[in-house]
């Protein structure tokens, strides 16, 4: 379905540790309506999954994906990048038909 680069895994594990979350905590990856191009990505550290979530284990990181978002995350790679302009998570979505200049929203 989706993948996390080793750099993203390391950063997510760091955030989970800082969050002080328990053994069932993980990273929620969501696709939300909005942004300049129609959809935007959402990431959040959560204490546990919701009832309907698909739960993935990606290199030791639990990832929670809701049923709506699953359809838009097939083949997506999440990375963590640092540059002189800042740092943050980036998304490579092979299914995206376009996006905006800021890189935080996309169309399908």
Q: What is the pTM of this model?
A: 0.84
pLDDT the model gives residue 61:
94
Model confidence at 53: pLDDT above 80: yes
Give strand ranges (E) for the chain.
3-4, 26-33, 39-46, 54-58, 61-65, 77-83, 86-92, 98-99, 105-107
Model confidence at 104: pLDDT above 60: no
C-alpha 17/C-alpha 21 separation (Å) is 7
- The superfamily (CATH) of domain 3-102 is HesB-like domain (2.60.300.12)
- Any idea where the domains of the chain sit in the sequence? 3-102
* Placement of tokens 């490579």 in the chain: 92
């Amino acid at each position: 379905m989706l993948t996390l680069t080793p750099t993203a895994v390391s950063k997510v594990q760091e955030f989970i540790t800082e969050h002080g979350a328990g053994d069932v905590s993980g990273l929620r990856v969501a696709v939300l309506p909005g942004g300049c191009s129609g959809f935007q990505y959402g990431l959040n550290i959560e204490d546990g999954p919701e009832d309907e979530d698909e739960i993935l284990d990606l290199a030791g990181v639990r990832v929670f994906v809701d049923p709506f978002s699953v359809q838009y995350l097939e083949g997506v790679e999440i990375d963590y990048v640092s540059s002189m302009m800042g740092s943050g998570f980036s998304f490579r979505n092979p299914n995206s038909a376009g996006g905006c200049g800021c890189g935080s929203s996309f169309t399908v």
